Every structure is written in C-alpha cells, then in structure tokens.
Structure 1
Amino acid sequence: MSAVRFSPAPRTLALAAALLVSGCALGPTGEAPASPQPAHYAVDATPATLGPQEARQKFVLGQRAVPQWWRAYGSQELSAWVEEALRSNHSLAQADRNLAAARLQLRAQIDESLWPTIDAVGQAQRQRALGLPNLGPTTNLYNVFAGQIRASYTFDLFGVERFANSAAAAQVDAQSYQFDAARRSVAANVVITAINAASLHAQVMHTERLVALADADVEEMQRRLALGAVSQDELLSAQASAQSLRASLPAMKAQWQASRHALAVLMGRTPDAAPADLDISRLQLPGEVPLALPSELLRQRPDILAADAALKVAAAEQALATAEMFPSLSISASFGQSGFSWAKATSGAGAVWGLGASLTQPLFHGGALSARRDASKEAYLAAEANYRQTVLNAFQNVADSLVALTQDADALQASTAARAASEQGWRNAQRRAQLGAYPASAARAGERQYLNARLGEVRATASRMSDTATLFQAMGVGIETPPQQAAAKP
C-alpha cells in the first residue's frame, strides 16, 4: 500500500500567490455599516421653538454649534470654571498622558516593523569543557572573546506587520475619541453641577424663609391660644408644619454642599476651595441650540467614532489572523571578531561573518491558527453589532434630551405663571395688611404661597438649563484646547 503524502505547503503557497496577484483582501474593509436615518429623533417631531417669548429657545437644524458652547449661558464665572476644569482636572490629565504614551508606543511599533534591527553584541567567557577520552586532558579550560554586529529583517509578504500596525493605529484613534468624550463630559458636568448648586442655594434660602414664616405663625398661634381664640389642635398643627419644613433643610443643605464639593473636584481643587455659587436668576438660557442631522451626528459624537475605530481594529485583527497562516521570510547577517584570546580576537584571523535566510510556513499548530481566525471573525461581527447599538443609543440620547427640554419648557412656563400670580396676590395682601384691612397672618400666607411657587420656578429653570447642557453634550460637538493648556504641553 502506497503512503499518503501530506503536502499543504505547495497549496498554501499557491493560494498566497493567487491572493497577491488578485489583490484580494485578507479581511473586511472595516467600513461602518449603513445606519438608519430617522426623519426626526423622538417619536414626535421636535418643535422649532420652545417656551414663551421671554424664555424662548430655537432649534437650528443642521447647524454645528461652536465648541465653547457653555459661553451661551452668559456667565463669565461659569466659562472660567469650565476652562479651569479642562486645564486642571486630574482625570483628564491622566487620560491625556495615556493617549500620548499610546501614540509613542504606536510610533515605536511602526518604526520597528519598517526598518531592520541592528544590534552590537560583545561577549567574554571562560569555559570548562570535557575533553575526549584517551586523547588529552580530561577537561579543557579556555576563553572566548567575541564582538559582532547583527542585523535582521522580516519581509512583510502578507501584511502581518501592516495589519498589526493598522490595528494599533485604530486603537489609538479609539482612545483619542474616548479622551474627547471625557473632555466634553467634564465641561458638561461643570455646567450642570454649577447650575444644580445655584439652584439648591436658592432653594435653601427660600426654604429658610418658609421656616421663619412658619415659626411666626406658631408664635401668633400661641398668643391666640392664650386668648382662647384658637384650639390646642390648631397650635399643634402649626408646630408640626414648622418642624416638617425645618426637617427638610438638612438634606437640602447636604445636597447643596455636596454639589459645591463636586464642582471643586471637577476643577482640580480641594473641596474647601469650592467657588461661590452662581445666581441662577442671572444665568441666561441659551436662545439657539444647534441640532445636528442624524447623518452629521455619526461624524460628531465620539462614542460613535470610537465604535467605528473599534470596528477597524477588529477588521485589521481578522486580516492579521489570516496573514499569520501564510509563509514569513526573514534574513539575517552578522559580522565581527572572535577568538580564544584577546589578541587573536582582534587580529585579522579572528574575523567572522554570517548570512542567513529563513522561510517559515505554518503546517500544524493543533488548529490554533484557524481558531484564531474564526475568533477574529466573530470579534468583527461583535464590533459591527456594537457600532449599530452605539448609533441607536446616540439617537435615543438626543431624543430623550429633546423630549426633556420640551417638557421643561412647559413646566417652566406654568411655574413662572404660578409664581407671577402668587407674587401679585402676596403684594396685594401685604399692602392691605399694612392698611389694617388684613391680618398679618394673611400676608404671611400669601408670601408662603409665593415662596412655594418660586421654589417650583427655580427647579424648573435649573432643569431646563441642565437639560440644555445635556443636549449640547449629546450633539457631540468638539472642544477646542484652551491656549493655556496647549502652551503648557511639552
């Protein structure tokens, strides 16, 4: 029976030659799959304008916002805080240095793959070796001196190095987009945290006034109880209301101070160095909010760009796993001096050199190479699915922000109307109380109604301003590096 001959190398070489001739790719291109293009982001179309004339916002479809969007709030203090955070936030500094290190590592990898490696090797040894039986000493002692220049180079016949470099470059791109997302997140968090702190400050002040009014009601009830004008139950009810209001203050103050501490840390400060609160009534609501088209959003949001870079990484790694199944060719050369003594090693007789070439074709690796290629295919499909999901999440993020702003505008309009009506009623009651037509308790009741309405207006104002910042962030607009930070970099 004749033996069966196994010769995969010729078939592999033939396939490799065919691939080179035909220019067939060893993996997918890494192009992002087609994405949906919705007519509008949310279930219902977003109106062009929101809110009444005095607090109106306009959505400009297709317009790209300026990078420093926080300046639209009209506060120099807020703008300075954001720019300080972009310069001094330590998490951003860490991400920036990691990105710089990744770029240098990529440069090292590319340079190493493009050029041959050349090394100088020096060697000095004293050895004891066994001699041949009956032909001399049982052991030999001798010295070896050698100095060589060695060079080697591996030809990238099927793109192993090229695909590895492409994957590394795409990974650096993804890290760059993640750093951009971190910068925008810090800017948005500074704006939102500052607005929240200003809102809580105003709420604490109004609640403290409500507590003072409730205490005044209790004092009046005690006087009237002594006169028999009210019952004990009425006094107890007034006391319970005052204590309930007082009990709400500690948690509110804790939230207020926590917001201030968070703002300080975002700016790279210690919590005790938190800046003074903004006056929320002096912040401007951005009048125009650019709204990117869905097709433009794909090129603006860093999470989508990072997912696209991850897709390119997976494509390059699939091509790399395929290329590793083909032959690799390496050449090496060395030249130097060698001898058993320093004098002989440095003489003309001690010259040594060598040339070599190595052609390696994988034959059998227990199925590891095929498994790696199949795994890279699955990883590419996973990256493709991740890209599609990231796009949908981005659309949802924008849609939720738009709906929140729409509801905020309605809530603010209603709370502003309630505040205006209650304020007018309080002023009327105050004037009548001064004329003796109303008791002081009626004026306090009118002020309480006004303060409660004002609390609702403050919360609605803060929600609308914060959600506007969230929408700016959701648009994925890039942030320019402040001149101070650019100059500080080496």
Structure 2
Amino acid sequence: MKLRLHPIAVATSAIALSAIVLAGCAVGPDYRKPDVDMPVTWQLDAPWRQSTPSDTQAKGAWWERFGDTKLNALQEQALSGNQTLAFAAARLTQARATANSVSTGMYPQVSTGVRASRLRIAGNRPLTNYNSPNFATVQNDFALGLNASYEVDLFGRVQRNVEGARASAEQSAADLENTRLLLSADLATNYFNLRELDVELDVLSRSIELQRKALELATSRHDLGATSGLDVAQQQALLDTTLTQVDVLRKARSQYEHAIATLTGTPAPNFSLPPALAPMTPPAVPIGIPSDLLERRPDIASAERAMAASNAQIGVARAAFFPSVILAPSYGVDSRNIETLFNAPSVVWSLGVSLTQTLFDGGRISANVDFAKGGYEASVANYRRIVLTAMQEVEDGITGVSALDRAYAQAQAAIVSARRVLDIANSRYEGGVATYLDVITAQQSLLNSERQAAQLMGQRMLTSVFLIKALGGDWPDAKLAQK
C-alpha cells in the first residue's frame, strides 16, 4: 500500500527540517571582546615589587587583612543589612528570571484547553446555502485540545535575544559584586576616618592636659611677680583654641559614625561606636600586572557584559528584515456528547504554518539597526573608559602609598624633634633666659606634629583601601608582595 502524505504535513516537515539545517545561522555580528591598550607593567616606586596573581584570585573579605576585629564585624553586618546591596541582589534575581524567560523562546510552547458548554444556535442565523434551511438547535459542546506554537528561528532573532538576556544577567551579577566591593570600601573608608579622628582627639586631650599644666605654671609665676600677665593670657588663648578644635573634630566624628550606621543598615540614632586607639597599619598589597584588572575588577566585567548584550541587540534588530515563521499544530477531540468524546469521529487536528514579512515600514527597521549599532559603540567606549580609569586609580594608589609611607616616617621623626624643642623651651623659660612665647610656640609645634602624624596614618589606611578597591578586592596569600 502506498503511503500518501497530506500536503500541509509535507510543508510543515520541510520547514522544520530547514529550521534544523539553519540553526545557529543568526544574523548580526558574533560578539568579540574589543582590544584595549594595556601597559606591560606599572610605574613602580620603592618599596613595591611585582607579584604574579592568577585569574582565579579571591575577591572576598579583603578587610580582614587590616586585622581589626571591629571592622570585620561591621563589614559582616553591612553585607547582611545594607539596602543598596539588597537592591542589587534583587536586580540580579530579576535579570536571571528574565534570561530564563527569554530562553523559553528556543522551545515550543505547548498548552491544553478544556471546554464544556450548552448552547442554542439561532434558526434565523445567516444562511450559507439557500437550499438548506436553518433550524434552531440546542446542543452540548465538549472539547479537549492540545495546542503547540513554535517560532522557527531561521535568522537567529530568538538566539540573539537569548544571548543578550544571558549577558545582561551576567552583567547584573558583576554589578552585584561591584556593589559589594564599593560597599566594603566605603565602610572601611568611613571607619578609618573615624579612627583617625579618635587618634587626633587623643592628641588634643593630651595637649590640653599639658597646656593646662603650663597655664598653672604661668599663673603661679605671675602670682609670685616673676612674669607679667601676658604669659597667662597667651597660654589661656592657646588652651581655648585647642578646646575649640575638640568640638570641631567631635562633630566630624559623629558624621562618620552616622555614615557607618547607614551602611550597616542601622538607624543612626541607634548606633554608636566607642573611641579606640588601636595601632593602624596597612597591609602589604600585591599589585600584579595591568592586564590582571580585566579579570579582577567587577566594574570592568560588568562593562564587558554590557557590550555583549548590546552586540546581541544588533542581531535582534537585523532579524526584523527577514520573515518570521511560526508552526502551530493542534490536536484534540470535540463532541456534542461526552460519552463519544474520545471516539475516533470526535478527533480534530490541524497543522499550520504562518509566515510574516514586513514589506514597507518607512525605514523603521533600519533605524532600529542603527540605534542598536550606536548602543554597541557606546558600550565599547564605556568599557575602554572604565579600563583607563581603573589603571589611573591603581597608579594613583601605588604612588600614594609609597609617598605616604615616607611622609609618615618623617612625621614620627618630627614629633621627636618637637618634644625635644618643648623640653628645651620649658627649661629656658624656667631659668629666665627665654620668653614664654618660645614655650607656646614649642607647644603648638608639638601639637601640629602629632596631629599631622595622626592624619598621615589615617591617609595611609585610606589609600590602602583605595588601592585594594582599585585592584578589585582580595588576593591569595601565596601571591603576597613584600613591601
């Protein structure tokens, strides 16, 4: 017996076969990451030396390198309670859900439907044949059907959509990592600013104690008639000026404290951070080579994934020039009696294909392609800008840490010299061979030197945080550079 195929079935099979043959022939450019001009090495200044990090470097709890348990606790609190981070995590969830939703376009959509109704057909309805009169009819209608729909992706529109959605999801993941890095760096910056003010306030406290003792001495000598009232007035003015600075520093400290509260997800009125004078020493940071930034920094990864998503949109826009083909087969049963619903005469089916081709749109599709190309070119420029900024930040951090290390060592030597000057000035004043102005000048010089050392210590910590952020986060211990 010769098998005869229905013409619709033949056409549907041919289209399905074409879809298989042409699978992967997506229009639009395939994505390739653009080249960027990366220098071979950094401009190193002593005491730096280059490390050799791998592309599997950790980017986790870098703040633990500073050895401050309170900072570690605040960072953990921020990672669990910060609302900006929670927002970024929610956006990642949305992006992944969107990618999963778009990916379903690669597969057939299958649905089923059940219908049960009792209806009356009018006897006065329009005739389709004047020789066959109409009659009013009341009857049941029971139906059970299975429908399918599948867009044959001959020109890669669906494929490019999926590529773009997946790249966007990966971009959101990189954005989340970048938000974590920025959050931890912002928290560490505020924390070390606050601790630097603790040290400055301690310096002022010790200076005030010293100045009050000097005021008592000047007052006693004035009461004995050994000096004029000018010495007392000068010392009192110096003490009042120092007390004023205490209130200014306390105001700045409270602002850093409030910022830390917000970053950790705590209402500012419910948060307090007691003063602490623990020594602050920045860790040695391995800097690697410039090309490592392309693998380490999440903001660069985010910009690169944005390029991939923009590139995919060019293919989506170009696919609109070509026809869209949709297969829509269906199969089911339909009967007026539920008892005969599954009998052979109740079977209904259809095989269908629809093809849609735009013939004239006034240049809309071309404009969309140009728009997509412009978006890709913008993403490339943004990617290169971020890479250049990253290299600038690392180079700034390298030179900054080196300069501050030298300045801090010199500031410690200046404190020793200032204390020696103050001791000499006090001895000369008590011996009557120097004016009290020399003592006040020496006191002010010592105060300035100690405050400068405290500020330089804070700047060293901040610059180390800045450099770690610029390099993209933490590093393996095996790759630690010796400073």
Q: Which category of TM-score, normalised to the shorter sequence, fits these structures?
A: 0.7 to 0.9
> Would the alpha carbon gap of residues 209 and 350 (structure 1) be closer, same or farther in structure 2, given more than 3 Å must change?
same
**Shift of residue 72, structure 1, vs aligned partner:** 2.9
> Does residue 87 of structure 2 align to residue 94 of structure 1?
yes
Q: How does 1:186-265 map to 2 (within 5 A)?
A: 186-218=183-215, 235-265=232-262
**Shift of residue 403, structure 1, vs aligned partner:** 2.7
> Would the alpha carbon gap of residues 226 and 76 (structure 1) be closer, same or farther in structure 2, given more than 3 Å must change?
closer
> Does residue 105 of structure 2 align to residue 120 of structure 1?
no
Greater displacement, 223-232 / 259-268: 223-232
Contact 1:195 1:278 in 2 (8 A): no
Gaps of 5+ in 1: 1-16, 50-57, 481-490
Q: Deviation string for 1:332-366 (max 9, x for gaps)? A: 12222335566676766543322211122222223
> Would the alpha carbon gap of residues 59 and 262 (structure 1) be closer, same or farther in structure 2, given more than 3 Å must change?
farther
**Shift of residue 118, structure 1, vs aligned partner:** 1.2
> Would the alpha carbon gap of residues 424 and 140 (structure 1) be closer, same or farther in structure 2, given more than 3 Å must change?
farther
What CA distance in whole angstroms lies between the structure 1 residues aligned with 2:334 and 2:419? 100
Gaps of 5+ in 2: 1-17, 128-132, 477-483
What CA distance in whole angstroms lies between the structure 1 residues aligned with 2:184 and 2:137? 75
Q: How does 1:234-383 map to 2 (within 5 A)?
A: 235-271=232-268, 272-280=270-278, 282-286=279-283, 288-339=284-335, 349-383=345-379
**CA-atom RMSD, angstroms?**
3.7
1:279 partner amino acid: L
Q: 1:47 aligns with which of 32, 36, 45?
A: 45
**Shift of residue 417, structure 1, vs aligned partner:** 1.2
> Does residue 64 of structure 2 align to residue 71 of structure 1?
yes
Percent pairwise identity = 27
Which residue does 1:36 correspond to in 2? 37
Which residue does 2:158 correspond to in 1? 161
What CA distance in whole angstroms lies between the structure 2 residues aligned with 1:24 and 1:330? 17
**Shift of residue 443, structure 1, vs aligned partner:** 7.5
> Does residue 180 of structure 2 align to residue 183 of structure 1?
yes
> Would the alpha carbon gap of residues 33 and 347 (structure 1) be closer, same or farther in structure 2, given more than 3 Å must change?
closer
> Would the alpha carbon gap of residues 303 and 154 (structure 1) be closer, same or farther in structure 2, given more than 3 Å must change?
same
Aligned residues: 447
Which residue does 1:452 correspond to in 2? 448
**SS, match of residue 296 in structure 2:** coil
> Would the alpha carbon gap of residues 127 and 235 (structure 1) be closer, same or farther in structure 2, given more than 3 Å must change?
farther
What CA distance in whole angstroms lies between the structure 1 residues aligned with 2:427 and 2:221? 23
Contact 2:45 2:398 in 1 (8 A): no
> Would the alpha carbon gap of residues 151 and 169 (structure 1) be closer, same or farther in structure 2, given more than 3 Å must change?
same
Contact 1:285 1:465 in 2 (8 A): yes
What CA distance in whole angstroms lies between the structure 2 residues aligned with 1:196 and 1:167? 42
Contact 1:194 1:278 in 2 (8 A): no
Contact 1:122 1:146 in 2 (8 A): yes
**Shift of residue 475, structure 1, vs aligned partner:** 0.7
**Shift of residue 209, structure 1, vs aligned partner:** 3.2
> Would the alpha carbon gap of residues 394 and 419 (structure 1) be closer, same or farther in structure 2, given more than 3 Å must change?
same
Q: Deviation string for 1:135-154 (max 9, x for gaps)? A: 678x8877654332211111
Q: TM-score, normalised by structure 2?
A: 0.79
**SS, match of residue 474 in structure 1:** helix
Which residue does 2:461 correspond to in 1? 465
> Does residue 406 of structure 2 align to residue 410 of structure 1?
yes
Contact 1:154 1:331 in 2 (8 A): yes
**SS, match of residue 37 in structure 1:** coil
Greater displacement, 346-355 / 257-266: 346-355
Q: How does 1:56-67 map to 2 (within 5 A)?
A: 58-63=48-53, 67=59
> Would the alpha carbon gap of residues 363 and 218 (structure 1) be closer, same or farther in structure 2, given more than 3 Å must change?
same
> Would the alpha carbon gap of residues 227 and 318 (structure 1) be closer, same or farther in structure 2, given more than 3 Å must change?
same
Q: Deviation string for 1:186-219 (max 9, x for gaps)? A: 2223332222111111111222333344455555
What CA distance in whole angstroms lies between the structure 1 residues aligned with 2:433 and 2:219? 22
